[in-house]
Structure 1
Amino acid sequence: MSIASKLAELGVTLPDAPAPAANYVPYVRTGDILYVSGQVSSGPGGFITGKLGDDMDVAAGAAAAKQCAISLLAQVKAACGGDIDRLVRVVKLTGFVNSTANFTEQPKVINGASDFLVEALGDAGRHARSAVSAAALPLGVAVEIEGIFQIK
């Protein structure tokens, strides 16, 4: 099954790739490796803001991380000229969680992205990963995730 078909089966429509918010490019390709800049948590209603361990629980954080993964795939699709099926595999994610100093469940939050990518891509969605805390993130968002992908 194609990636596009699997996303449709999951009820996921990739949005237009978000434009950079500062002086950087959304992605850089070198050979068959694509580096995608950090994608902040946002959905149809705008930015998903909050601080884990304060005003946001793990389930809401994981949902925000899933939205980051959807934005990452939107950037991959843009980098592939609109053909998401050129994605070979997810290589690595680095997830940043806006959290309090005593919050220690960053991996459970970033699982929202990881679980979605495996559900959507199967084994090609399995990846290396880091999940770290941040005292604050741009615009007060709950999660930001950057990714490295292999494309053809």
Structure 2
Amino acid sequence: MISTKVLAFAAVCATAFVGHASASHQATFQSDQSHFGQESINMYNYIKENSGDHVPADLTIENAPFHYFTHFDLNDDGFLDGNELRLPWYESFAKNHQYVDITMVDGKVDRVLVEDDLDNDGLISPDEYFASLERQHQLKDPVAMGFH
């Protein structure tokens, strides 16, 4: 499933999506963390560990998926393309000093796009990203994560 792929994307890298997006995409974050799973914590830790001096001032466990998405949105267009989707897996291989299996990574990216790219434009939008997370029952309220 794409949900599995996006979650694997998060889990493998941590084991978001607008500094890059406009302020209009951000919403008030809820303080109730009961519906945020381990993936949000993993994403939060990943952002803290990999943002250097540029850790978002508003980073919380609740909005970590938002920032995780934006972290990999390298061209700041508000979407993740195939190249940006590959990055977490490549980073994971490098972190674990493993050979990068490009065929395997490409297969995972292709599955993510088939399963989660609902409008078939070749990009994962924030809405598609959160829909994927919701399908995995990891998050219940995408508005609380920073998108509406």
TM-score, structure 1 length as denominator? 0.29
The structure in which a higher percent of residues are strand is 1
